[in-house]
């Protein structure tokens, strides 16, 4: 899942970015509304965590623009005010959910995951291919009943491949969906992560490399 955090309080913004990455999400962080719009112009995000009182371009205006463009991106609006009137106003602007500060991080994660499911075509709650099973809600993966000890990147990469069995997923798309702005597009990060994932999955090989195409699980 690709997430944009747009929050002007830098300590909170960086903390959210770090925490969500530990949850296996690819996260970009910006501190003002202008930078948020710049990111949204070039990257497709599943969820935007949007502080309502952003400097530069107000969060309300960003929310209106996303609603007008009818994007699949879901908006979780943050605000220091938790009144019912403010919540109604925020939702009326096009926000999909509304969370007043201060909030529990676990609740924010649950809401982001719920919005992420709405931003993409519905998938089964548990992804499977033959004897490989991945449960996103429980953050658990196994093969042949053997639990797999996967890093957040490996878990997210396996989820991307299992979501479309038989379909070739390019390295560029994996880089966009699994990594974030810190990733070097010319690096071999995807190749190395696939290599480690293959080793953990064991035999018979499950991930196929398609020359000049990308990677897939399952036949064409």
Instruction: State whether 165 and 115 are in the same domain.
Output: no
How far apart CA 136 and CA 99 sit, in angstroms, is 23
| Domain endpoint, select from 119, 150, 179 | 119
CATH number at residue 191: 1.10.10.10
Q: What is the mean pLDDT of residues 17-36?
A: 92
Instruction: State whether 189 and 166 are in the same domain.
Output: yes
CATH number at residue 79: 3.40.50.2300
Q: What is the mean pLDDT of residues 4-9?
A: 96
**With the C-alpha atoms ordered 128, 132, 135, 136, is the resulting torsion angle positive or negative?**
negative
Instruction: State whether 87 and 189 are in the same domain.
Output: no
Instruction: State whether 43 and 81 are in the same domain.
Output: yes
| Domain endpoint, select from 119, 151, 176 | 119
Instruction: State whether 98 and 38 are in the same domain.
Output: yes
Domains in the chain: how many in total?
2
- Between the alpha carbon of residue 146 and those of residues 112, 133, 136, 154, 169, the distances in Å are 29, 10, 17, 16, 26
Percent of the chain whose pLDDT exceeds 90:
51
Instruction: State whether 172 and 99 are in the same domain.
Output: no
pLDDT value of residue 79: 86
pLDDT in tens, 197-212: 999 999 999 999 998 7
Whether 187 has a pLDDT exceeding 80, the answer reads: no
- Between the alpha carbon of residue 98 and those of residues 1, 16, 85, 174, 197, the distances in Å are 19, 16, 12, 30, 37
Instruction: State whether 152 and 85 are in the same domain.
Output: no
CB 47 within 8 A of CB 3: yes
pLDDT in tens, 109-164: 999 988 987 766 655 678 999 999 999 878 899 999 999 999 988 999 999 999 88
pLDDT band of 27, cuts 50, 70, 90: very high
**pLDDT averaged over the chain?**
87
CB-count exposure of residue 50 (10 Å: 0-12, 13-18, 19+) = buried
**Residue 150: domain span:** 127-217
| Domain endpoint, select from 61, 94, 119 | 119
């Amino acid at each position: 899942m690709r997430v944009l955090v747009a929050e002007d309080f830098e300590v909170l913004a960086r903390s959210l970015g770090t925490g969500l990455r530990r949850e296996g999400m690819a996260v970009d962080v910006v501190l003002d509304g202008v930078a948020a719009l710049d990111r949204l112009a070039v990257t497709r995000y599943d969820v935007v965590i949007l502080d309502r009182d952003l400097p530069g371009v107000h969060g309300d205006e960003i929310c209106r623009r996303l609603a007008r463009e009818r994007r699949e991106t879901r908006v979780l609006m943050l605000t220091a005010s938790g009144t019912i009137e403010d919540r109604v106003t925020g939702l009326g602007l096009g926000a999909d959910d509304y969370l007043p500060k201060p909030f529990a991080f676990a609740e924010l994660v649950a809401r982001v995951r719920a919005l992420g499911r709405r931003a993409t075509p519905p998938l089964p709650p548990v992804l499977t291919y033959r004897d490989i099973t991945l449960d996103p809600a429980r953050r658990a993966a196994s093969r042949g009943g053997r639990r797999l000890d996967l890093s957040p990147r490996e878990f997210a990469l396996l989820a991307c491949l299992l979501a479309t069995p038989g379909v070739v997923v390019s390295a560029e798309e994996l880089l966009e969906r699994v990594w974030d702005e810190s990733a070097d597009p010319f690096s071999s990060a995807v190749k190395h992560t696939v290599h480690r994932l293959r080793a953990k999955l064991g035999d018979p090989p499950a991930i196929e490399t398609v020359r000049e195409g990308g990677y897939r699980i399952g036949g064409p």
